[in-house]
């Protein structure tokens, strides 16, 4: 008997980073010293005070039972307090915040809550692959919003066809942006709020990188804009801010009906995040400034090192104000995939091809600096030896 796959997964391309891992592992087996600058997974350990909070909470039997589907009230209260301190935004923890098992989970479930078959989701291109895939899983149709260098990697709302706008029910945004590292200001966010309000579109803003910013830049929350609470839900992850990627803890905040809709999906699909992890998350948010500047300094040093390498190689890039990525133009004569393959095969360096994030990513590549500083230096030296 041959097990039949559903069309929704049969038609999926290989998940970008899974395919990169496969090629990388093939070379490692051959004895190649591979430097992986692909996935944005912080190498800086989770702070001790967060780990200690988990240890204590894990020993408490009251945390061994099923958790709340939408998160402990104490966790949601901590998220609300953090929002107030960080963005001066007031949120009701009972109705305007829901805990997530990582923001990827919430983002992937959002289309199930808000799209009917045939509805359109506006997705940034290049962008996080989960946006269009989750839309397709829910029976919706993703429509790409190209992020172009000449527009500061912001979508041109006026360029979206009128017939697409009529069918659109969701818009995914992500600033500071992965992969382009672009940042958006409150003026642009206000344009989006007005557009969404006029066209009855829910904005899902992926704000995973608001706390990883440099040189005094302080990224805003989408919810800071007047009217945003009427049209938006924002996803915040503890993964990048606190080096907690493996812990799978995050939350979504915003419009109460949107939060309730996402909560209803979660009630039927999962049983909530482990309470001991939520307790650790509370400790993280209550002490969010501890060690943050030190972690940012490490990323900044690595970004400076790699940007100097790109300068030496004559490759164009925009220096990041936020995130721990660098988005740069591939050399003339290369496609994104061809450049990534050359880097891996000739230098043993993993970079992510820009077209893996969407068609508009062609001509670019992305590196992450979430790897040991010495390895960043080694990667830079290897790139210098290449001639483009």
Cα separation, 325 vs 39, in Å, equals 10
Closest CA to 268 of 107, 70, 116: 70
Burial class for 258, CB neighbours closer than 10 Å (0-12, 13-18, 19+): buried
Cα separation, 267 vs 203, in Å, equals 22
158 CB-near residues (< 8 Å, 6+ apart) = none
Residue 98, both tokens: 């829901």
Cα 209 to the center of its chain, rounded Å? 7
Mapping DSSP to helix (H, G, I), strand (E, B) and coil, where does residue 350 land?
strand
Cα separation, 155 vs 150, in Å, equals 11
Residue 289, both tokens: 């400034």
The DSSP string of 207-263 is -TTTT-B-TT--PPPGGGSTTHHHHEEEEEEHHHHTT-GGG--EEEEE-HHHHHHHH
Task: Check residue 381 and give its pLDDT.
Answer: 85
Cα separation, 70 vs 312, in Å, equals 50
**Which single residue is written with the structure tokens 């925009």?**
318
Task: Check residue 13 and give its pLDDT.
Answer: 72
Cα 39 to the center of its chain, rounded Å? 11
Cα separation, 306 vs 324, in Å, equals 11
Closest CA to 286 of 117, 71, 49: 49
Per-residue model confidence as pLDDT tens for the chain (388 residues):
889 898 888 877 766 667 777 888 888 888 889 999 988 899 999 999 999 999 999 999 999 999 999 999 999 999 999 999 999 999 999 999 999 999 999 999 999 999 999 999 999 999 999 999 999 999 999 999 999 999 999 999 999 999 999 999 999 999 999 999 999 999 999 999 999 999 999 999 999 999 999 999 999 999 999 999 999 999 999 999 999 999 999 999 999 999 999 999 999 999 999 999 999 999 999 999 999 999 999 999 999 999 999 998 889 998 999 999 999 999 999 999 899 988 988 889 999 999 999 999 999 999 999 999 999 989 988 887 876 6
Please, are residues 206 and 172 in contact by the beta-carbon 8 Å criterion? yes
Task: Check residue 20 and give its pLDDT.
Answer: 72
Task: Check residue 388 and give its pLDDT.
Answer: 67
Cβ count near 2 (within 10 Å): 4
Mapping DSSP to helix (H, G, I), strand (E, B) and coil, where does residue 117 land?
coil
Please, are residues 234 and 207 in contact by the beta-carbon 8 Å criterion? yes
Residue 368, both tokens: 């992450």
Strand order in the sheet with 352-353: 325-329, 364-368, 352-353
Cα 151 to the center of its chain, rounded Å? 21
Domains with residue ranges and CATH for the chain: 7-45+291-384 (3.90.1150.10), 49-286 (3.40.640.10)
Cβ count near 226 (within 10 Å): 9
Cβ count near 357 (within 10 Å): 25
Cα separation, 41 vs 60, in Å, equals 30
Cα separation, 182 vs 324, in Å, equals 12
**Which single residue is written with the structure tokens 């007005």?**
194
Element holding 172 (H helix, E strand): strand 168-173
**Which single residue is written with the structure tokens 């290369």?**
334
Task: Check residue 15 and give its pLDDT.
Answer: 65
**pTM, to two decimals:** 0.95
Task: Check residue 387 and give its pLDDT.
Answer: 67
């Amino acid at each position: 008997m041959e097990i039949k796959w559903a069309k929704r997964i049969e038609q999926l391309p290989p998940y970008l980073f899974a395919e990169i891992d496969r090629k990388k592992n093939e070379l490692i087996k051959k004895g190649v010293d591979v430097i992986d600058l692909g996935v944005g997974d912080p190498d800086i350990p989770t702070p001790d005070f967060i780990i200690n909070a988990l240890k204590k909470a894990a020993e408490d039997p009251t945390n061994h039972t099923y958790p709340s589907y939408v998160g402990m009230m104490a966790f949601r209260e901590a998220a609300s307090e953090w929002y107030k301190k960080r963005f001066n935004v007031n949120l009701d923890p009972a109705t305007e915040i829901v805990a997530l098992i990582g923001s990827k989970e919430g983002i992937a479930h959002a289309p199930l809550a808000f799209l009917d078959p045939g509805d359109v989701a506006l997705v940034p291109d290049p962008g996080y692959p989960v946006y269009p895939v989750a839309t397709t899983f829910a029976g919706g149709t993703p429509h790409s919003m190209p992020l172009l260098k000449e527009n500061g990697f912001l979508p041109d709302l006026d360029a979206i066809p009128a017939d697409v706008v009529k069918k659109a029910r969701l818009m995914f945004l992500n600033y500071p942006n992965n992969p382009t590292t672009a940042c958006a200001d409150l003026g642009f966010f206000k344009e989006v709020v007005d557009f969404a309000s006029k066209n009855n579109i829910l904005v899902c803003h992926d704000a995973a990188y608001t706390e990883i910013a440099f040189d005094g830049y302080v990224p805003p929350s989408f919810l800071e804009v007047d009217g945003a609470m009427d049209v938006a839900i924002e996803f915040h992850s503890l993964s990048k801010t606190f080096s907690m990627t493996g812990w799978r803890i995050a939350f979504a905040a915003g419009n109460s009906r949107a939060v309730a809709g996402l909560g209803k999906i979660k009630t039927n699909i999962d049983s909530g995040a482990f309470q001991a992890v939520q307790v650790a998350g509370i400790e993280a948010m209550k002490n969010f400034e501890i060690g943050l500047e030190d972690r940012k300094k490490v990323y900044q040093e690595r970004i400076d090192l790699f940007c100097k390498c790109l300068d030496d190689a004559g490759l164009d890039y925009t220096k990041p104000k936020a995130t721990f990525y660098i988005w740069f133009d591939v050399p003339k004569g290369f496609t994104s995939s061809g450049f990534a393959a050359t880097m891996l095969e000739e230098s043993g360096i993993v970079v992510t091809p820009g077209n893996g994030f969407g068609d508009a990513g062609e001509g670019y590549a992305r590196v992450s600096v979430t790897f040991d500083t010495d390895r960043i230096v080694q990667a830079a030296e290897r790139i210098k030896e290449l001639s483009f």
